[in-house]
Amino acid sequence: MLQKLKSPNWPLHLMLLPGVILVLIYSYGPMLGIVIAFQKFMPARGGLFDSPWIGLDNFRYVLDMPDSMRILKNTVIIAVFKIIVGFVVPIIVSLLLNEVRKEFFKRGIQTLIYLPHFLSWIILGGILIDVLSPSSGIVNQFLSLFGFEPIYFLGDNSWFRPVLVITDVWKEFGFNTIVYLAALTGINPALYEAAIVDGAGRWKQTLHITLPGMMPIIVLTMTLAMGNVLNAGFDQVFNLYSPQVYESGDIIDTFVYRIGLVDAQYGVATAVGLFKSIVSFTFISVSYYLAYRFANYRIF
């Protein structure tokens, strides 16, 4: 088109400048700091490159720790269960919501089930600690009506993981229905009309039109969820766990916090963090690639 229509590009660079600088410092800066995973880092020595290099010793040290396999196992188990349950429930809820014909009821339900997503794990943690308490919690009071003994949900290793999965789904299922509801509105209504003419009931319509219509977005969220296989949820675990349940609930992120910032073993903690970042990065890259191949999804 006309050359005049082209505005010069330097204002675009200028707009990006402040963002680029801040990201450079606070996102790329820490990436440089990863070198301390290969050092015997001594804060007193100050500079990043003044500490002695020790190669992979930090990694070896972690591998020799009796806890490390348990922590990896906890992380993967908790994350995988959260991914599966957190994936199925929103699909079902969005299908149920889709059957609701009364608009105000639908909206009311949506407003209520989105709410927990916007509250922090501090608030929800505080609420759950109170509600699930074995002595005064309302859940145990309710269970005692049916003759159950009080259960220490947050202090018992056989209960802790299920509680993590259930409460995480409780917080997020409503909000995650949004994408599926959006997909449902995109299905061509003519398909339903044709199905009704052919004599299909609601159930048949759901089976043969709604579900296939949701398939692309289902495949997409399923592939993208893969990237979270080492993200068991720091905020939630940190605010609900205690030493009694380290055995079933200690995850990589909480472990890094404890050995790094509590015990000040910077090098070791960074090595563990680096391991997690690399594995996560691989999973995320693979999942984005698969999402692109099979669902034609691109981030931007």
Partner 1 sequence: MVEQLTLGRRLFVSANYFVLALLSILCLVPLIHVLAVSFSSSGAATAGLVKLWPVEFTTSSYEFVLAKPAFLTSIGVTLQRVALGLTINMVLTILVAYPLSKEVRKFKFRSIYVWFFVITMLFQGGLIPLYMTVNYTGIMDTIWALVLPGAVPVFNVVLLLNFFRGLPKELEEAAFIDGAGHWTTLWRIMVPLSAPALATITLFAAVGHWNAWFDGLIFMDSPDHYPLQSYLQTVVINRDLSLVSSTDMKSLAEVNDRTAKAAQIFMGALPILLVYPFLQRFFMKGIVLGSVKE
d(CA 241, CA 257): 13
Closest approach, Cβ 231 to partner 1, in A, equals 12
Closest approach, Cβ 165 to partner 1, in A, equals 15
Closest approach, Cβ 158 to partner 1, in A, equals 23
Q: Are 39 and 52 in contact (CB under 8 A)?
A: yes
Say if residue 26 is exposed, middle or buried (CB neighbours under 10 Å; 0-12, 13-18, 19+): exposed
d(CA 271, CA 39): 10
Q: Which is nearer to partner 1, 83 or 113 (CB)?
A: 113
Closest approach, Cβ 83 to partner 1, in A, equals 18
Q: Which is nearer to partner 1, 24 or 69 (CB)?
A: 24
**Closest C-alpha among 172, 159, 150 to residue 240:** 159
Closest approach, Cβ 69 to partner 1, in A, equals 20
Sign for the CA dihedral angle at 277, 283, 287, 290 comes to: positive
Q: Which is nearer to partner 1, 53 or 105 (CB)?
A: 105
**Closest C-alpha among 252, 266, 257, 258 to residue 36:** 266
Q: Which is nearer to partner 1, 9 or 158 (CB)?
A: 9
Q: Which is nearer to partner 1, 161 or 171 (CB)?
A: 171
Sign for the CA dihedral angle at 124, 126, 132, 137 comes to: negative
Q: Which is nearer to partner 1, 88 or 182 (CB)?
A: 182
Closest approach, Cβ 280 to partner 1, in A, equals 8
Phi, psi of 133 (to 5 degrees): -60, 140
Single-letter amino acid code for the residue at 96: L
Closest approach, Cβ 176 to partner 1, in A, equals 11
Q: Which is nearer to partner 1, 22 or 69 (CB)?
A: 22
